[in-house]
Structure 1
Amino acid sequence: MARMTCEFFSEALTKQTTMMVVLPDKPLKNEDGTIKPYPTLYLLHGFSDDHSMWTRQTSVERYANERGLAVVMPDVDHSFYTDMRYGKKYWTFLTEEVPNKARFFFPLSDRREDNFVAGLSMGGYGAFKWLLNQPDQFAAGASLSGVLDLANHEQVDQGDNPKNQSVFNAFGGENLVGTSHDIFHLAKQVDQLAGLKPKLYHACGTEDFLFDHNVRFKELTDTLSLDIETIFDPGEHEWGYWDHHIKQVINWLPIQ
C-alpha cells in the first residue's frame, strides 16, 4: 500500500484539515487494459482518535491491499459527524467535501457499488448515520462498537464529562429522536425504501460499555428486512477487537 497524509483547505470547515489515504500497490485494470478507479472504504475514527489511528493501531493497510481497496480516513474532531450547533460543519465536510476532494486527488471510484463506509465507536455512529441518510451512495457499511442509540443520550452543557459536553456542542440539546441524527429512525426509513438497499455489518463486544446500545439496535433490526449481519462476541472497547473486526469487514465487503 501507499499511505499518504493529505492536507487541504476545507470550505465547510473554513480551515486547513487532514485525511489519511491508503491506496493498493497494484493498479486495477479493465479488460481492455485501461486503469480503473479503486473501490473505496471511508473509515471513520472514534471520539478519542484522529485520522491516523486506524493505521497506527490496526493492520487495515494490509487487509485492504489484499482486496485492492482504497481507504480514506478523515479527521472530524469531536463532532459526532454532524454540522455542530456550537462548532464546525463536519457533516457537510464528511458527506460532500471528503468524497469530492478524495476523488479529485486520487483515482477513486464514484460508483455506488464501489463505495463503502465503516467506523468504530463515535465513528460507528457516523458510518451508519452516513449510510442510512444516503443509502444511494454506498453498497455496504459497518459499525464496530457504535454509539448507536445516541438519540437517547442525555445532553448536558456543563460538567466533568468531555463526551457529554461534546454531544451538547454538536447538537445543542436538541431532541434527536426521529431526526436525521437518529440511527433507529433512519433504519426504519431505509427498510421502507423500494429498490437497492445497502448491506450492514454490526459488531460489538459483549464486555463493551456500549453493548446495551447495540443490543437495542439489534432488537430493532430483528423486526426489519434489512440485510444485516450482527455479531456479538467477547470483547471490550479496544483496538484488538477492532483490528479483528475490520479484517472481517473488509473480507465481507461486496467488492466487485
Structure 2
Amino acid sequence: MIINGSYFSTVLDRYKQYVAVLPKAMSAKTHVLFLLHGVRADEKAWLLNTPLLPWADEYDTAFFCPAGENSFYTDHKNGEDYGQAIGVEFYQVMKQTFSLNFSYLNTAIAGYSMGGYGAALLGLKFPYYSAIGAFSPAFIFYKRDRNDPVFNQVFAGGLENSENDAAFLFKQRFKLNQKLPRIALYCGDQDPLNKHTQAFGDAVNAVKPDSASYQQQSGFHDFTLWHPALQNFLEDWLTN
C-alpha cells in the first residue's frame, strides 16, 4: 500500500507531505524504517527510484519518507528546526497515525547523500532508532570556506563538536552510557565524499570498535549505488 499523506508540523508551522509504503499484512512484527532523501529531491525520491512496494512485503517493513526539502535535517539559523521536525515530530506523528511497533529495536533510519548525513545525525541525536544506514552521506564540513549562504544557514548550530557533528553525538552517547545504534556506511569509490565517509566510520570505531561497518561500492553518487545499498542494509538489519 502506498499512502501520499500530509500532516501539520507545529515545529515548522505548515503542512508537510510524506509517503508511506506499507506491507499488505501488518503485525507487531512489521519493522519500521524512516527513509530520508537528498538535496533537490522530495518525499517521493525513494519510491520512484527503488522497489519499496514489493520490498515492504518481502522484508515485512513499513517505509516512512518525509519531505526534508534542502534542510540537511538540522535546526536552522532562521528558526526552522528541521532536526526536531523530522527526527522527533515526524516520528511521533507516524507513531500516532499507524498501528505499528515503533519500539527501539524495531525502528531504523536511513538515507542517501544529504539524507545519509541526516540519518547519521538524527539517528544519533534522538533515541528512537536502533540502526542507521548512511548511503554516500554528505559530510560536507570541508565546504566551510566557500561562504555559501545555504551552508551557513543549515549549519548555524556549529560544525565539529556541535549538535551537527554526528561523530561528536556518538561520543556523547557513549560517554553517557546510552544505547548506541548500529551504523552501516556505504559510498562509491569515485565519490569525493568517500574519504569523509570513511573518516566518520573511523571516528566512531575509535570510540567503540565495530560500531560502524563500511562498504565501498563501485561508482559515483546516484541510485545505481543507493538501490543495492538499501537492500543490503535491510537484509543486514533484519538478520542481525
Decide whether the 8 Å contact of 2:155 with 2:164 is kept in 1: no
Residue 87 (structure 1) shift: 5.8
Q: Which residue of structure 2 lines up, in the alignment, with residue 31 of structure 1?
A: none
**1:41-97 superposed Cα distances (whole Å, 9 cap, x missing partner):** 010000121100101011233223211110100001111101211362211211222
The residue correspondences of 1:96-111 to structure 2 (distance < 5 A) are: 96-111=88-103
Paired with 1:155 and 1:87, the residues of 2 have a C-alpha distance of: 23
The root-mean-square deviation of aligned C-alpha atoms, in Å, is: 2.0
Q: Which residue of structure 1 lines up, in the alignment, with residue 143 of structure 2?
A: 153
Q: Which residue of structure 2 lines up, in the alignment, with residue 4 of structure 1?
A: 3
Paired with 1:100 and 1:255, the residues of 2 have a C-alpha distance of: 26
Residue 231 (structure 1) shift: 0.6
Taking only the aligned residue pairs, the percentage that are identical comes to 24
Change (3 A) 1:195 1:13: closer
Query: What is the SS of the residue equivalent to 1:253?
Result: helix
Q: Pick the structure with more helix per residue.
A: 2
Change (3 A) 1:3 1:155: farther
Name the aligned partner's letter for residue 199 of structure 1. Answer: R
Decide whether the 8 Å contact of 1:81 with 1:91 is kept in 2: yes
- Structure 1 segments unaligned to the other structure (5+ residues): 29-35, 158-163
Q: Which residue of structure 2 lines up, in the alignment, with residue 132 of structure 1?
A: 124
Would you identify which runs of 4 or more consecutive aligned residues in structure 1 move more than 6 Å? none
Q: Which residue of structure 1 lines up, in the alignment, with residue 26 of structure 2?
A: 27
Paired with 2:169 and 2:141, the residues of 1 have a C-alpha distance of: 11
Q: Does 1:119 align with 2:73?
A: no
Using structure 1 for the length normalisation, give the TM-score.
0.86
Name the aligned partner's letter for residue 246 of structure 1. Answer: L
Using structure 2 for the length normalisation, give the TM-score.
0.91
Residue 233 (structure 1) shift: 2.2
Residue 166 (structure 1) shift: 2.1
The aligned length equals 239
Decide whether the 8 Å contact of 2:201 with 2:213 is kept in 1: no
Q: Does 1:252 align with 2:203?
A: no
Q: Which residue of structure 1 lines up, in the alignment, with residue 216 of structure 2?
A: 232
Query: What is the SS of the residue equivalent to 1:154?
Result: helix
Q: Which residue of structure 2 lines up, in the alignment, with residue 170 of structure 1?
A: 154
The residue correspondences of 1:173-252 to structure 2 (distance < 5 A) are: 175-194=158-177, 196-225=179-208, 226-252=210-236
Change (3 A) 1:197 1:218: closer
Query: What is the SS of the residue equivalent to 1:25?
Result: coil
- Structure 2 segments unaligned to the other structure (5+ residues): none
Return the index of the structure with the highest Cα Rg: 1
